[in-house]
Structure 1
Amino acid sequence: MFLGNKFTTSTLGTIPTLVYESMIHNNDDAIDANLAQMVSENLKLYNSNNYTGEAILKSVYSKIDTVITRAEENKTSSNIAYAEEVVAKLNVEENRKQIMKFNERIKNVGGTPIELPNYSSEIEALNKLAEESKVIVDKGQDLSEHVHYQTSTWDKFIKSYNSSMDVLSKGIEANNKELNTAIEELSIAKNALVKLDKTNLNKAIEAANSKIAEGILEEVDEEIKISFNNALEVAKTVYNNKDTGVQDIVKAYNDILVEYKKLGIPVGDKNNLSDLVNMAEAINLDRFLSKGQDEFKKALQGAKDILSKEEISEIDSYTSYESLYKSMMQLVLKADKSELCKAIANTEEINLSLYTENSKTKLLSVLEAVKLVKENQEVTQEEVEVALESLNNAIKALVKSADKSELESLIRKAEGIDTNKYKSEGVERFIKALNEAKIVMEDKNISEDNQELVNISYSNLNSAIEALQLKESSNGNSGNGSNNGGKEDNKDQEDSNIDNKNNDKGTNNNGKGNSDLPGTGGTSPIIYVVIGALAIGFGAYIFRKKSTLDKV
């Protein structure tokens, strides 16, 4: 399309437009302005959650590279200013590494680099935490013969530690999200490490094996013999399982004592109580809900008081043992919120401007409720799982909004038209179409499934603009047809550049369009040949610069 004195980018494309500006006008400012505008438009399309996100971002980098290259080749103040402008359009967090590379080039041409946030304090905090964690890593999972870290918590800790080291290796290129995420995840994983002491369980297993060797099961009922052997095998399984829990160890130990009781062997003596107290003291109460902790602490103190006596009756020892064991088994582990934390972080990265208002509002409401679950130290694992599921469902329920970018641009341009210059019948149609377009624009719940509603609105408004007719001038001209394309030329000056997109929108111009183009002296077909040839050369230039950027 040809409007006024220039081809539109939407008609011929980026490279021909730039070539035309350079060839006809030698207009460097126009080229730089077009490039800067293209960077802005591309960034509007960028969505890191979309599969096209990376391709769009590379396209943006390529255009910025072209602008900076122009500044490097011709160090004028305007070229440098445009280079600074296009780099400033990038998100300082998401594109921190690339901005640093662009900044170095801008600095070399005498420009002012884009200011980036300083995260030295976050790097220092992560460094300190990593050093503390390295001490644990170096000691390894196995601490002694019968003591080791629980495998699941150890694996999470090692994974978080390695991730934090990867972030630290980036140095000042690491962004705020990467640093804070690494600090949070490593802190949680380090504090969540579970140390399992199986010394007393091993002692119980060895004692049981000794009793069997002594013939304790030789003259007992088969049912009791099977029960005893089963309890012993379970205890061995728990001992060999590096991912078992503290309460599993305690139960396995107690079950062997229960089997002794069936055989008429006294249990709950001072030695058994002492073993249980040792296991109880190894429990990290920070990993358990507060409910039941008071009873546990009371029972533990009672057992210690019994053990401190020189003489202990069998009934006191047994009662204290049962009380402590029961309180230990009633402790409830705090929920693992690692997946919930990740889901919250990922949700906050979603570009909600791409979705309808209703679905976005619902997600935000669920997100706030889920955050409360995250902060609540007394929630159960089941409640965390329910919260995670509700958040995932709300994300899945998000509805993509229809694309209104072209309609928004057309409305903005239409609002600049002076209706006093046009005949009333056309103006009435124009105002109606504009008002209807605004209603569509303000409806935040039109989904991409209803894109046609937006397209129709665009088409109606565009057609209404094209149908506007100038009022008759004093010399009797109607403003149509001849007289330098009167109507079209006036609207071009008013709305700057209303692109005819009827083909894209599935509409028909009813024979209009090029018949009303401004009288520019005609356009020779030769110019298209010239533009095509120059476009190939300019395209090769852009490709070489893009390749250079990719290697950086």
Structure 2
Amino acid sequence: KVTGMALDEYVENTFYKPLGLNNIVYNPLQKGFSKDNIAATELNGNTRDGAISFENIRDYTIQGEVHDEKAFYSMDGVSGHAGLFANASDLAKLAQVMLNDGGYGNNKFFNKNTIEEFTKRKSSSPTWGLGWWREGDNGRLWYFGTQSSSNTIGHQGWTGTLTVIDPESNLVVVLLTNKINSPVVDNTINANTFFGNKFTTATLGTIPTLVYESIIHNNNDAVDANVAQMVSENLKLYNSNSYLGEAVLKSVYSKVDTVITRAEERKTAENLSYAEEAVARLDVEKDREEIIKFNERIKNLGGKPVELPNYSTELEELKAVIKEARDTIEKGQDLEEHVHYQTTSWNKLLKAYEDAEAVVEKGDIANSEEIKTATEELKAAKKELVKLDKTNLYKAIEDANAKIEEGVLEGLDEEVKASFISTLEAARTVYNNKDASIQDIAKAYNDILAKYKELGIPVGDKNYLADLVNIAEAINLDRYMNKGQEDFKNALKAAKEILKVENASEIDIYKVYEALYNSMMKLELKADKAELSKAIAEAEKINLSGYTENSKAELLSAIEAAKLIKENTEATQGEVDKAVENINKAITALVKAADKSDLEGLVRKADAIDTNKYKAEGVEVFNKALNEAKNIISDKNLTADEQDIVNNAYKNLSDAIEGLELKGSSNGDAGNGSGTEDDDKKDPEDSNTNNNNNSNNNGNNSSNNGSTTGKGDSNLPSTGGTSPVLYVALGIMIIAMGIIIFKKRNTAEQNK
């Protein structure tokens, strides 16, 4: 209404064309740019990898469209807070206008008073101007770094962009990344935490600090030290049990790579030492593969590589076990007629063999845990291989068929005939089943003899007893529980002894036969605890930080009980199955806790505020809100359904901070204090701030006002769909996603 033009038309004609900016537009796909020239901003649209859903939501990779939901769905891609696409060069020229008191070249857009009106501090906060963020007194360390002046202004975008304008240092820094164009770490815990958040460029304030050291102070030694310190600081954040563990570890590797790169480019004794120390901080077991890669580069620099444990002996042992297993496997599952390995045990051997081969294939990269596990599992699979000899069962089936042909069933009741035929068919089923157990075979054999007995056919024959003894001797008692083993051993001994008696009666033989058969049937296999072990391992991987204390306690109790069952060699299969069921129930019953990450971050900021600098009435409100927030944080059973309680506490504390007034302050002063970003989408582990050594590298960058995307130099960007990786060069810093630094030249032309 004021200009008679739409926003995109107005800024294009008023600013961009006069400045010759050809790579800054709204809706670039409608202005002749192709996707190939534009950085992607999120892999799976606005869904947060499936955590968010609504009608017509974008689920494709966003590229060339404004990322911000409000701007896309409600404002046709054009708004004051989002939607502008540009490369670093064009943005830097716009920022230079601010340094030049409103002009650039022959163009004059604002007078100095207008700029001062928009960039001076708010009365309630030194870190806010009109539409601009301000540094104030170290109020924007996370974004502007540790060395920007108090009158530094700028802003960041949620997708990973930053502009810093420091009038005192005559410096402009434009950093463009597409950090959230990476997978969400775990959208069940925090849908706004992406893998890209954990890389150095995502910690936006890190980059300006390094720029100041390199360009303003020309202090490469300080840059080197800061980069090296990132490794140790980032490792402090690593927790293998955290849902962020993998993302943080990848970030650590990226930083080690950067330290070594610095040493390769600036070959000083200090840099080589930093590189050696960075690699030495890694775990020689868990990070063995990466250390081997880094060691090669350290050696090429003439440095001392990290000494890794030598597992050649262990690998040779594993190879020997593999050879034994291979000999068995090459002979096949079928050994001879009527004899084969049980399918379940055979498949376990094949799986263990494949896993072991994969470990050997890794060679020096394999760590001790991998080698040990592969060796133990292959040995166990070989030992537990069950050989099934069905020769005697086959003989019994053939004998029964012969008796039928001889007419043994003629003249008998139809029900008796059917029962006999059914028993014989069941025996054939067992014979054909390659996954039958030895007890299944013994039962099928005995059932045929039981039918003989019903028909009056003598069964007190030593041949039958000898067959049963052969079946019994194939039993590996190590696979059975202790209960019943003594009776079985005694019965087997008695059977062998009576077979030696020449004139033993049929009755005595059959009694011994029955005793042996009954003792075999009472043997109980040791419980299969594979699923229990898996359930325990999976349960222990769960990051319980996002659940209420009571529900966590239930799961931890179930895990401990399951571990006792696992260690109990006499535990029954029923007990094992019940333990698995209890773990699964406890997992299902986990109650999501309210997300307090934003509130915790705000409380940390609030605790850093020196209330002695502010007026008493504001401090009283502030202290009350802070205490309320701390009480809510201490309630470990506040559920996600009660999130409003947390949100209200955050709002109250945020309002209280905004309401603090400096003693004797007035508009326009730099002031002291700490502002809040109530438009932030917080990452739960990203609420720390940079210290004076720039050692914190945990990514935050979470404003909801994402606007520009990473670009190339000549056109809009071609960074595609890659995650950000830090590359720090000497002097001028070039980041893969796009960074440009302008330092003001004191020329008459620029100041027009």
- TM-score higher than 0.5: yes
- The partner residue of 1:368 within 548, 560, 564 is 560
Which residue of structure 2 aligns with residue 262 of structure 1?
454
Which residue of structure 2 aligns with residue 332 of structure 1?
524
Task: Assess, with a 3 A threshold, how the Cα gap between structure 1 residues 112 and 361 changes in structure 2: closer, same or farther.
Answer: farther
Which residue of structure 1 aligns with residue 407 of structure 2?
215
Q: Provide the rounded CA distance (Å) in 1 between the counterparts of 2:335 and 2:281.
A: 53
Task: Assess, with a 3 A threshold, how the Cα gap between structure 1 residues 58 and 114 changes in structure 2: closer, same or farther.
Answer: same
Q: Provide the rounded CA distance (Å) in 2 between the counterparts of 1:543 and 1:505.
A: 22
- The partner residue of 1:226 within 394, 399, 418 is 418
Query: Which one-letter code corresponds to 1:213 in the other structure?
Result: E
- The partner residue of 2:300 within 108, 112, 134 is 108
Which residue of structure 2 aligns with residue 316 of structure 1?
508
CA contact (8 A) 1:141 1:149 kept: yes
* Match status 1:307 vs 2:499: yes
* Correspondence 1:365-514 to 2 at 5 A: 365-471=557-663, 478-482=664-668, 484-485=669-670, 487-488=671-672, 491=673, 498=674, 500-504=676-680
Which moved further from structure 2: 189-198 or 207-216? 207-216
CA contact (8 A) 1:456 1:505 kept: no
Which residue of structure 2 aligns with residue 174 of structure 1?
366
CA contact (8 A) 1:404 1:441 kept: yes
Which moved further from structure 2: 197-206 or 458-467? 458-467
The alpha carbon displacement at 1:444 in A equals 3.2
* Correspondence 1:142-157 to 2 at 5 A: 142-157=334-349
Which residue of structure 2 aligns with residue 512 of structure 1?
none
* Correspondence 1:25-174 to 2 at 5 A: 25-26=217-218, 29=222, 33=226, 61-62=253-254, 64-76=256-268, 79-80=271-272, 83=275, 94-109=286-301, 113=305, 123=315, 125-174=317-366
Which moved further from structure 2: 114-123 or 371-380? 114-123
Aligned residue for 2:340, secondary structure, equals strand
CA contact (8 A) 2:238 2:249 kept: no
Query: Which one-letter code corresponds to 1:307 in the other structure?
Result: L
The alpha carbon displacement at 1:375 in A equals 1.1
Q: Provide the rounded CA distance (Å) in 1 between the counterparts of 2:667 and 2:726.
A: 49
Task: Assess, with a 3 A threshold, how the Cα gap between structure 1 residues 466 and 2 changes in structure 2: closer, same or farther.
Answer: same
* Match status 1:205 vs 2:384: no
Which residue of structure 2 aligns with residue 341 of structure 1?
533
Q: Provide the rounded CA distance (Å) in 2 between the counterparts of 1:23 and 1:424.
A: 43
Q: Provide the rounded CA distance (Å) in 2 between the counterparts of 1:102 and 1:541.
A: 28
- The partner residue of 1:3 within 124, 135, 159 is 135
- The partner residue of 2:481 within 271, 285, 289 is 289
Aligned residue for 1:504, secondary structure, equals coil
Aligned-residue CA RMSD (Å) = 4.1
The alpha carbon displacement at 1:505 in A equals 7.4
Q: Provide the rounded CA distance (Å) in 1 between the counterparts of 2:452 and 2:242.
A: 61
The superposition leaves residues 379-438 of structure 1 with CA deviations (integer Å, 9 ceiling, x where unpaired) of: 221221111111122223334445545544444444344333333223323333333333
Which residue of structure 1 aligns with residue 36 of structure 2?
none
Q: Provide the rounded CA distance (Å) in 1 between the counterparts of 2:592 and 2:224.
A: 34
The superposition leaves residues 443-465 of structure 1 with CA deviations (integer Å, 9 ceiling, x where unpaired) of: 33344554554444444434434
Give the number of equivalent residue pairs: 509
Task: Assess, with a 3 A threshold, how the Cα gap between structure 1 residues 499 and 426 changes in structure 2: closer, same or farther.
Answer: closer
The alpha carbon displacement at 1:83 in A equals 4.9
Query: Which one-letter code corresponds to 2:538 in the other structure?
Result: N
The alpha carbon displacement at 1:253 in A equals 1.2
Which moved further from structure 2: 212-221 or 77-86? 77-86
CA contact (8 A) 1:65 1:545 kept: no
Which moved further from structure 2: 538-547 or 4-13? 538-547
CA contact (8 A) 1:411 1:434 kept: yes
Query: Which one-letter code corresponds to 2:398 in the other structure?
Result: E
Q: Provide the rounded CA distance (Å) in 2 between the counterparts of 1:125 and 1:400.
A: 47
CA contact (8 A) 1:83 1:106 kept: yes
Q: Provide the rounded CA distance (Å) in 2 between the counterparts of 1:35 and 1:537.
A: 33
TM-score, normalisation: structure 1: 0.78
The alpha carbon displacement at 1:41 in A equals 6.5
TM-score, normalisation: structure 2: 0.59
Q: Which has the higher contact order (CA 8 A, sep 6+)?
A: 2
CA contact (8 A) 1:469 1:480 kept: no
Q: Kindly, what percent of the aligned residue pairs are identical? A: 55
Query: Which one-letter code corresponds to 2:540 in the other structure?
Result: E
Structure 2 unpaired stretches of 5+:
1-132, 144-154, 163-174, 177-203, 683-706, 728-752
CA contact (8 A) 1:43 1:57 kept: no
Which moved further from structure 2: 355-364 or 239-248? 355-364
